[in-house]
Structure 1
Amino acid sequence: MLDIPSSVSVDVEALLAAQNHMGVCDAIEQYAPVGKPDTMTTPHFPKVAGIDSTVPPPAQTVAPASPTPAPPSSPGAPPAPAAPGAPGALIQDRLAGWVSDLTTLHELTERLARTAVMDDALHEVLRAGAALVGARRGLVVLEPADGLGPDTTVGLGLARADLGHIETVPRGATSYGRILDRTDGTGEPEVHADLLSEDGLDPRHRDVAARLGYAASFALPLATEAAGRLGAAVWLYDEPAEPVERQRHLVGLYTRYATEHLARLLELERARTKSRTITEELLPPRLPRVAGVQLAARHRTGPRGGGDWYDALPLPEGALGLTVGSVTGSGASAVAAMGRLRASLRAYAVMEGEDPVAVLSDLELLLRLTEPARSATALFTYCEPALRKIVLAGAGHSPPLVIGERRTEFVETSLSAPLGMLACWEAPSVEFSPEPGETVLLYTDGLLHRTGDPMDRAFARLHAAAAGVPRTIRNDPGAIADHVLHTVLPDGLDAADSDEDVVLLAARFE
């Protein structure tokens, strides 16, 4: 902190007026002394973020009744310390209050900057705003002005049913509704210091306020010139109240920063949603129904989108083609390459599906000619469900897993390089027959990579998960896939952001 020598002459009235008309940093810059400050003994101000429900007011000294002239000092002696009621002490207190405000804002904005998901950021904005304005409850309505969404409502101290009650109030009668309906999307806050005593209050709004037990509200737009209007934040008081000018100033500074942060998260979330949508559209919308076999698939993609695919294709004479694969890389280019390869593989499967080696050989030639910078792993199986006969070929892909009452084992396949790695790819096929009631599980390497374990331990974890499938769900391939997925990737690893896609395709033979 800074200590102001008592010899500095300051117009206190001008200082107080300036505090209300300029930012904290501007005021500190204007009234900071020139030269090296003396040591200051002002007490340390408590930190607020995440502890107190209100911002601690800056320490104030009693206004001086009449200045007492300082005794004359001898030449060369240091200046006498400021009297408790002198203007210098008042300036020190004001500066201490400003420093406390800056510290509070720094802590709150740092906590907000650490959020990487929109929902977490909205909850943090509510908590920080409640601390700044001295409220206990509130809600944020996210409704971007461009109409592209996502639209959502998040509450603090309000259950989902409470938010439902608030949403029954006519939009024009709510603080956030009036803010969101403004043409410019910005403007002054909406303050209702004594909501229930206001004339002309909408009857439904009065009923909801009485039911939920709030008597005052303070609402701010979440909008800046750069980000546009994103939504509105409302904080609710249990008793008639309103934030003082200092609290309004601090929460205004905070919400301007928060709006910019929310705008960045919104852009990122929209990009992820587009990537997921494109990936889902390139994969089969539903699995076919083929006599003698039940199918189920699970797919998890990372935030940038990956190149993993699965497919199930009915073939002539009651046969079925099953395939999983993965293109190297991530992002939009990998997703596009995946879509091209999957579409080509479907064509090759129709023409020569009985020979999986020929199918993958044609796919390898296409990949080498059209996308020489890429490689891919793939597994294609030709199934005859009536005979429970499977012929498969793999190119650098992990072997399928057979799950049954009497056995849980990996299918022995020949070693082969991925597609695009050799001048000419060809490897022998493998034939096997599952028993009635057994499930053949096809998967991509992302299931193993997401574990973070070495490959041998990841394979052991996968085998243990498959062997531990409960008897009660062995007749349901979807339940088997879910069990394996959540056992191999526990604690949300299956849904966590990752560069690795995960695909499981389960086929139970009757």
Structure 2
Amino acid sequence: MATEPEPQGPARRSPPAQAVRTAAGHALRTATAGLPVPPTGRGLPGRGGDSTPDWLEPAMAANGIGSFDWDIRRDILEGDQRACDILGLDPDRFDRSSAAFLALLHPEDAPVVSRRVERAVAELGQCGAYYRTVHPGGEMHAVRFRGRVLADAFGRPSRMVGFVWDATVELHKREKAGELAALREERSRFIKEAARALSEAVTVRDVARVFTELPLPGLPPDGLVLASMEAGRLAILGASGYRSELIARHDRSPLAADHPMAFAVRTRTPVFIADRDEYRERYPEAWEQLGAGTGRSSWAFLPLVVSGRAIGVCVVSFDDDRELDADERTLLSTLGGLVAQSLARAQLHDAEHELAASLQRVMLPRAVPSVPGVTTAVRYLAAGSGLQIGGDWYDVVPLPGGHVGLVIGDVQGHDVHAAGIMGQLRIALRAYAAEGHPPAAVMARASRFLADLDTDHFATCTYAEVNVDYGVVYAVRAGHLDPVVRRADGSACVLPVAGGLPLGVDPDEEYRVTRFSLDPGETVLLCTDGLVEARGMDLDTGFDRLCEAVAAPLPARDESAREPLEELADRVAARAADSSEREDDIALLLLRWDGPSGGRAAQQLRRRIGQADLARISELRGELRDALRRWQVPDLIDTAELLSSELVTNAIRHTDRDAMFTARLYQAPGQGRARLRVEVEDESDLWPTRRTPGEQASSGRGLMLVEALADGWGVEPRGSGKRMWFELSAEGPAPTDGQVY
């Protein structure tokens, strides 16, 4: 084959052999056309004319070199016996023309030889090439020739003389060297690709996946196993080419001391076994226990060594006997080193991430309490790696009077410090809420608590108190996201809530309360910003996607099926940004108000009014209005609101303790009208005194109003303090069994 291939066109096709030879012969004849033919009678060297020197013949014979002489103008080709043997031709049958010579060559080599000879003739120079010939027996041989064009007395090309020798062995060596070079290049490329893939593997599972999918160049394995050593036991992390039951049988099993894996780990050197007999001879006990049942015939056990310590082993096995050469062993050993470094890094990552996740789980509530009248669902999705945990949290707090508080928040930062602050803040806020403080006071106290910690961290938070009796929500927001509400008709929208500064920024911040109502079956959703913000997605787009997910139809409620609210929580979490795009944790809290039992609200309203919390009186009036409207006695709203405000204000002004407000709607036995009873309890022993104020007096008319407008009123002593009450009668529905709700 020619060593200098000619350039080919874009649509290269091998022409038929006869056409190639005919064209090549025509080219040679064209190149020598018009040259004068010399007189006959002149012989070739060693053939009746000039003779080969005696000292040259033994050298040519010893090196297997033949000579040839081509008369260019007469197109006669002659050669010695060695040249004929090398070319594989019969001198008696060879017509000695250039066309007949070209017919002996491989169709791909004939044009190359023809062009080089034509150029040498035109330039009176020399040429040479490799080419392939087929001997009469059918075997393929490679031949190399070197020739020079000689000129006649007029400077015109006359003859080409030269040498030929068999280059089959040399060509095979060159081909073998080329194959080895290509294989080395492929292995070098494989090492680079393996290093890149293993460097991108984050978890132990990723490392196992990459290792078991590696295509080893030149020696494709039939089986791969990656295992770590844990307290003398073999923990299989990943495998391919083996039956799952075989892997399960050996996973977490003790490793015998004479097993080749144990030897590789103990000595930190690879173990290569070429065939079954070698395995049986070197490790007889391990062969009986493990090796005989694998169905393999040769193995490579590669220890995974990091900082002088073996952390595991990887096994490469083959179905046939295989004696690995030095290059193959070097490749496998290099691969073992890469896997070891990647596995150690992944194990550290998994350990750190598990530590962070455990810390996060400890900080979050272990279980969400069940509150009659509402259904809740929570989700937490961690993001980041290692110890990069967030300060996101949620909480559900049972409140006095059977109500429930919802908390969602996020502490600034993504580290263990942020998680620790989150745990302290969650407990403090839960305690403030459980004491019965109104939402604004709960948020203000939590902000003051975080500021007193002096951590240089702030937190965003939303706290909502849900009146389970009649579905009214009182929400307070401290730099956090607005809630999303899913209405009874299936639509979803973002509900604006008055906001304040994040917790810890200003200890004296006062927060405003936003009040909204839920109908039975409606759901309120609270979340952290990881759910609606990600790379390439702004907040508005995130909220649009969230509302779309929340508004999608829910499965029908069925006792045998899963809770629809859990399905909704799964759907919302599943549509969150993928972990490769999401940079923050996600906390998600959903609450559905199921409505009162029997479809009617519980007919009792109970609230504690703080001594210094005068704003609570205004909130109480609003709650009472809602309650009476739901109890279907709207005619009592104005009178009940006025008289209740008078009793509560009187208790707050003339005592130094909190007051407890209770309103009940009931039907006394034997009466057809519903009656509203309102009670205000305090711990003061000072009884109210009815007095007649002057025309210019600004106070003193409270009891006069109660006496004038109420159907009945009075003061009752208690063990500590007193209870003031009044009753109003109303037309409208009421319980028929006389039971107070």
Structure 1 pair 197/175, CA: closer, same or farther in 2 (3 Å)?
closer
Match of 2:304 among 222, 238, 243: 222
Which residue does the alignment assign to 2:451? Answer: 368
User: What SS does the aligned partner of 1:392 have?
Assistant: strand
Give a deviation string over 1:284-342, Cα, whole Å, max 9, x none. 11111221222211101222100100111222332222100001111111111111211
Distance 1:482 1:314 in 2: 24
Q: What is the identity, as a one-letter code, of the residue corresponding to 2:298?
A: A
Q: Which amino acid aligns with 2:398?
A: P
Cα distance in 2 for partners of 1:194, 1:301 equals 49
The 5 Å alignment of 1:17-416 reads: 100=185, 102-128=188-214, 130-131=216-217, 133-143=219-229, 151-158=235-242, 160-167=244-251, 171-172=255-256, 178-179=262-263, 184=266, 186-189=268-271, 191=273, 193-194=275-276, 198=280, 200=284, 205=290, 208-209=293-294, 213-224=295-306, 226=307, 228-302=309-383, 303=385, 304-353=388-437, 355-371=438-454, 373-406=456-489, 407-416=491-500
CA distance in structure 2 between the aligned counterparts of 1:307 and 1:316, rounded to whole angstroms: 28
Report which stretch shifted further, 331-340 or 496-505.
496-505
Question: What secondary structure does 1:437 align onto?
Answer: coil
Aligned-pair CA distance for 1:349: 1.3
Shift of 1:278: 0.6
| Comparing 162-171 and 419-428, the one that deviates more | 162-171
Check whether the contact 1:402–1:410 (CA below 8 A) recurs between aligned residues: yes
Q: Offset of 1:430 from its aligned partner?
A: 1.9
Alpha-carbon spacing, 1:132–1:502, altered in 2? closer, same or farther (3 Å): farther
Could you tell me whether the CA contact under 8 Å between 1:129 and 1:251 is conserved in 2? Answer: no
The C-alpha deviation readout for 1:410-430, integer Å capped at 9, x for no partner, is 233113232233463222212
CA deviations 1:424-458 (Å, max 9, x no partner) are: 32222122232222222111111011374111111
2:587 is aligned to 503
Unaligned runs of 5+ in 2: 1-166, 595-741
The residue type equivalent to 1:222 in the other structure is: L
2-side partners of 1:268 and 1:437: how far apart? 44
Q: For residues 255-283 of structure 1, what are the alpha-carbon distances to aligned partners after superposition, in whole Å with 9 as ceiling and x for unaligned?
A: 12331232222222211221111111110
In the TM superposition, residue 207 of structure 1 has moved relative to its aligned partner by 6.8
Distance of aligned partners of 1:472 and 1:186 in 2 relative to their CA distance in 1, 3 Å threshold: farther
Deviation at 1:231, TM superposition (A): 1.0
Residue 503 of structure 2 corresponds to: 419
Q: 2:546 aligns with which of 462, 470, 481?
A: 462
Please, which runs of 5 or more residues in structure 1 have no aligned partner?
1-82
| Deviation at residue 482 of structure 1 after TM alignment | 0.8
User: Is the partner of 2:401 in helix, strand or coil?
Assistant: helix
Q: Is 1:311–1:323's contact at 8 Å kept on the other side of the alignment? A: yes
Q: Secondary structure at the match of 1:233?
A: strand
- For structure 1, which segment, 184-193 or 372-381, has the greater mean C-alpha deviation from structure 2 after superposition? 184-193
Equivalent residue letter for 2:204: M
Counterpart of 1:476? 564
- Which has more strand, going by share of residues? 2
Match of 2:407, SS state, is strand
| Contact preservation (8 Å) 1:478, 1:506 | no
Q: Return the alpha-carbon distance in structure 1 between the equivalents of residues 483 and 366 of structure 2.
A: 23
Q: TM-score, normalised by structure 1?
A: 0.71
Task: Classify the secondary structure of the residue corresponding to 1:240.
Answer: coil
| Percent of matched pairs sharing the same residue | 24
- Partner secondary structure for residue 291 of structure 1: coil
Count of residues in correspondence between the two structures: 414
Q: Which has the larger radius of gyration?
A: 2
Structure 2 counterpart SS, 1:412? coil
In structure 1, what is the Cα distance between the partners aligned to 2:470 and 2:584?
36
> How far is 1:175 from its partner?
5.0
Letter in 2 for 1:273: E
Q: Retained in 1: the 8 A contact 2:270–2:333?
A: no
Partner Cα separation in structure 2 for residue 176 and residue 371 of structure 1: 59
Letter in 1 for 2:392: D
| Alpha-carbon distance in 2 for matches of 1:372, 1:166 | 51
Taking a change above 3 Å as real, the CA distance of residues 484 and 95 of structure 1, as seen in their structure-2 partners, is: closer
Following superposition, the deviation at residue 363 of structure 1 comes to: 1.0
RMSD: 3.6
Deviating more after overlay: 258-267 vs 360-369? 258-267
Aligned partners of 1:395 and 1:416 also within 8 Å: yes
Partner AA of 2:331 in structure 1: L
Q: CA deviation at 1:500?
A: 0.6
Q: 2 CA distance for matches of 1:169 and 1:259?
A: 21
